[in-house]
Amino acid sequence: MTTIDSGNRLSRRAVLQTGIGGLLDAASSGWSGPALAAPAAFDQWRDQFRAKAAAKGISDETYTRVMGRIEPDMSVFAKLRSQPEFNEQLWQYINRRVSDWRLAAGKEALKKHAELFTRIERDFGVERGTLLALWGVETAYGDPLVQQNHMRPVFPSLAALAWNEPRRRAYWETELINALRIVQKGWGTPDEMRGSWAGAMGHTQWMPEVWLNLGIDYDGDGRVFPFGKPDDALGGSARYLLNRGKYRAGEHWGYEVRGAKGSGSKSYAAWSEAGVTRADGKPFPRPNDKAQPWTPVPGGPSFLLGPNFYAVRSYNPSMNYALAIVHLGDRIQGGGPFVQPFPGSERALTLSEIQEMQTRLTKAGFNTGGTDGRVGNDTMKAVRDFQIRSGMTPADGYGGLKVLARLRQGS
């Protein structure tokens, strides 16, 4: 999670505009270009930055421990400016995130941590589906393989960006100092602090500022730690949604509806009087709550969105991301697919179909990064390369029914 408040602080939106997105969607096999040696100027910057860190309360001992022999991760500059793009349509975006694997794994995670989610709902009012979906999309419910395959020590990355990323150097300097504060407080060691190339860490991908300012010792072990047990990460993310997203306890994020026209925020009762109904035919359970209409794609499903939809959007300033999160949360808890399909959409592949697609792509010489039924950038790149080789258009990297059918023909 990437959010900064004011002054030298930068919003998650601004950070995302540099190309930093959700971890699992941004994860790839790494930069394929040659490694860049760190210029000698870095050593001079590192020595000079010590005074700036000291002025912010970082002790000489902490600075020497973390920064004394650090070398910058030069690959971050290529990653910052060359993020993969796949131009997904919204229905493709939703299908990838609300997948059979995430649904099954989310139900298991809910069963395993039911007491934790009950406690969070009691303490913060944030319902379990939202947090489960955030956790599932950001790090596959804390899967150790995500840490192993897609995480790196954050200090070399943050140091490189603070030293030589001119567009937002002040932001990266602030986040580097925040990370040093975390070490100084004894919450994490440099070896433990592994994350995405941009410095987001833990189960729900906190940037250092969020860890430092909104983290919570929810498991009572004496430190705030978003790794290992998910208690601190999920409790802190609930606190984030409440404090910065203005999450409202007891309100649903919204509903798929029929007949929504016009604009503005009205009560569900007022929308009902105007002829708007839930797409599933059920009544609005809290008629006095307010919501506003949104039809993301003409001819597709329409929604009434309440304040908690925008609380989720505060976590990542994308309407598509927020819709995927709230829909995944509903589906994990037994809700159904959208009633109105998106124009031109395909049904999502089942888990076994995705595994079959990955297996066939691998046998055809394309690297999918595994055949576990989870679709990340490796699989999307493999699909796009297959589409190009097969003459399929558009070559958009979406592995759906058409790609699977073509792979089967090829066999």
Read out DSSP for 95-107?
HHHS-HHHHHHHH
Q: Kindly tell me if the per-residue pLDDT of 28 is higher than 70.
A: no
CA dist., res. 250 & res. 284, Å (int): 13
pTM over 0.85: yes
Q: What is the pLDDT of residues 336-361, one digit of tens each?
A: 999 999 999 999 999 999 999 999 99
Helical (H) or strand (E) element with 6: none
Q: What is the distance between the alpha carbons of residues 229 and 374, in angstroms, rounded to a whole number?
A: 23
Q: Which residues contact 85 (CB under 8 A, 6 or more apart)?
A: none
Cα distance between residue 310 and residue 315, in whole Å = 9
Q: How confident is the model at residue 27 (pLDDT cuts 50, 70, 90)?
A: very low
pLDDT digits (tens, 9 = 90+) for 122-153: 999 999 999 999 999 999 999 988 888 789 99
CA dihedral over 229, 233, 236, 238, signed as positive or negative: negative
Supply the mean pLDDT for the chain.
89
Lowest mean per-residue pLDDT among 29-38, 100-109, 356-365: 29-38
Write down the H helix ranges in 98-151: 100-112, 114-124, 128-139, 144-150
pLDDT tens digits, 194-243: 999 999 999 999 999 999 999 999 999 999 999 999 999 999 999 999 99
Contacts 24+ apart (CB under 8 A), 317-320: 317/11, 317/12, 317/13, 317/16, 318/16, 319/294, 320/90, 320/93, 320/94, 320/296
- Confidence band for 82, pLDDT divided at 50, 70 and 90: low
